Structure 1
Amino acid sequence: MNKAVNDRVWSGTWVADRLGVELVGDDRLTDLLGLALRRNPKRAHLLVSNVLGKHVPQSPSVVYGHGFALGRRVRALLGDQEAARAVVLGYAETATGLGHSVADGVALAPYLHSTRRPVPGVAPAGGFEESHSHATSHLLLPENPALLAGEGPLVLVDDEFSTGNTVLNTIRDLHERYPRERYVVVALVDMRSEADAGRLEAFAREIGARVDLVAAASGTVKLPEGVLEKGQDLVTRFEDSHSGARGTARQAPTGPQPAYNRVDLFWPRDLPDGGRHGFTPQHRIRLESALPAMAARLAEALPSDAHRVHILGFEELMYAPLRLARELEQVAEGVEVTYSTTTRSPVLAVDDPGYAIRTRLTFPAHDNPADGPGDRYAYNVAGAGFDAVIAIVDDTADT
């Protein structure tokens, strides 16, 4: 059975028709990606993944399966001996779960993801900037400082490569501190131009390292002249004329407040909930054994008439909610389970089946990131008709 949750109309049609943006490349691109607009001085359009589990509710098996399959390809590329010497690094915030799923596919390597949440007393082992993102500064905070110091391959995982600048910045920073001979770059989609791809190849020659690329699909984004200005103007005009663009495109319900229930998962003591400070193969073994009981607790807490259940992770906390959602999907009979996470990226919401972001919920930040407080968002959750929403947070965000 195909569990993928997608609309029949391509969710990039609205933007493509109005701005002339075009995706060119593999046939799978329009299955994997939709388009939206955002208020960003560097890039007006946003490639919205249908299989990442960030902006678009999706079957957790589909989300996890895409990352795991990429990890298997990395392991086949490296071979078991080199895979056991590797470290997998995912990018905050959107690729923390994808990177961890890739690491699960590799199976033999520890995992670390970048973060924007500093920890008092923990010195960064590295950091870099993301050129086109709404929030740019990344910190690397492994609990074990030696995690990045080995000479084995470094596997860098992001949801998309648009210019390759983030990868270049990462390799440049880490290669100065921890030089190595091999890097593997992994993404759901590689959308770089030939010139951008050439810059990475030239940089690899410059530092004397091998750089391999693994992607589920590849292509380019064709942007007509003046698209940035046109996109910003369209966002402004739409926000001024449509109140739904600032929040949800549907009215809030006027009935009684929904029931609220708090569930303690009894997360295993000293088991990390993700890769912010490192996650080892030994941690993975402990998690696999604990997942069935935790999913059973969630299933027991569901209302008896809940047939459409959504698991909502929070920002960088993508992996633990994803694994719990996937496990719940396996054990909860007669229940359709979907998964997505909140984000700090502001995107225009347009209630149109040809647009990737149809509704938007806005709320304050729930932690203390390095770049300070600000709004956070949940997309395509309001108005989706879920019978129950399970919000999974870590201790810091439990406010």
Structure 2
Amino acid sequence: MKKNLDMTEGKPISLLWAFTFPTLMGNLLNQVYSITDSIVVGRYLGQTALAAVGSTMPVILLLAALMIGINVGVGIIISRYFGQKNEELMRRAFVNSLYLGLFLSAGMMVLGLTFSGTILRWMGTPEGPLQEATAYLEISFITMICPLMYYLFSSAFRGLGDSQTALYCLIVSVLSNIGLDVLFVAVFRWGVAGSAWATALAQALSAVVAAVLLFRKYPMMRMRRQDLRLHGKLLRQITVLAIPIAVQSAFNNLGNLVAQSAVNLFGEATMAAYTAASRIGTLALMPVETIGSSLSVYASQNHGAGKPQRIRQGVRASLQLSLVVSTVLGVFLLLCGRQMAGLFLAEPSAEILTVVQRFLLITAVPGILAGVMQVYQQVLRGIDRANQALMGGVMQLITKIAVVAVGAWGMQNLDVVWLGWPASFVAGTVIPYFCFQKIAREMETE
């Protein structure tokens, strides 16, 4: 395969799969790390430590969503200028996205260090895991520059149509992360804090490798002095695109934060079970998110090249891929989900295994619903309609919070809490679907 992929020519389903596959393998590998991380914490440090790490995850994912959202924006803009063959603006978009990310991450770091303990108490974290959870969260805020740089370079590669090199960088991150995790937690006995430091150092190492590869493989991305200046118009363009994406990603994870607060009401054992179940469930939900993300790059390249008729073809191809992948993974979780839960604790109770099984059945097995939502939200981002995609994200958030609140605080029923996931996928699809149909007709008749 060529080092980068021009998706303005050729069969859409083949192009999308060729672009998606390396990223999908990388993301699955990343989930292997995440699962391994929880296994190391659960088996070496016990149920309380596993609950502590799990209680921080919605906040950590919220931060990651903001970083990813900002950098997805630069990936889309680089894709657009790649389609236009404008190398100067590709470089300037990269630099100005870095400035925006540094500014926002510095502000979030200050706020996070100030309010980490308060956030966890507000979420109802029990006293048992609270201290370790606070330490984990504070380290994550201190090292925010590491994921910022990691996601920035990953998005730059994807914007250039090179998901393969992004995969190589992810492999560096994952393997070093697993090694450092075992070293810090199992050997040095640094506890939950060791797991947080392992993640940050692995991301920093991967960012260094990515920087070397980007500037070596793509000489046109090597910065000139004039490229380093703050470019007001381009910065505004990045901000207008990136902020709605970041906010929508934050909305999605804000729903998970509320869900974690609801789960905390059911006690430490349920918290540990939810930590394990959410790690396993991501194996079904993450691939369809990856397919949707690839569609945004495909749509952006064709939008920049003035080929709107290919965008609708890409949507159909993405829906087909999502259906196949989600069906295969749904069957896998039905058959093996309960057995996988036994990996996280030396002697998991029947209660924990039951919670894991029910969570997977209700939230992860119907993954095609998430796939459809991702397709229509992501294609809107790719054609510079991030605000319409954000409207879908708002509906997704409202629905998830409402269903989770009824299940936890109204009915005290975990199964109703889990229904918040599929219900939110459906709600998050409606507005983006009708917006895309209207916009696509307008684009094709111009």
Q: TM-score, with normalisation over the residues of structure 2?
A: 0.28
Point out the structure with the larger helix share.
2
Q: Counting strand residues as a fraction of each chain, which structure ranks higher?
A: 1
TM-score in terms of structure 1 length: 0.31
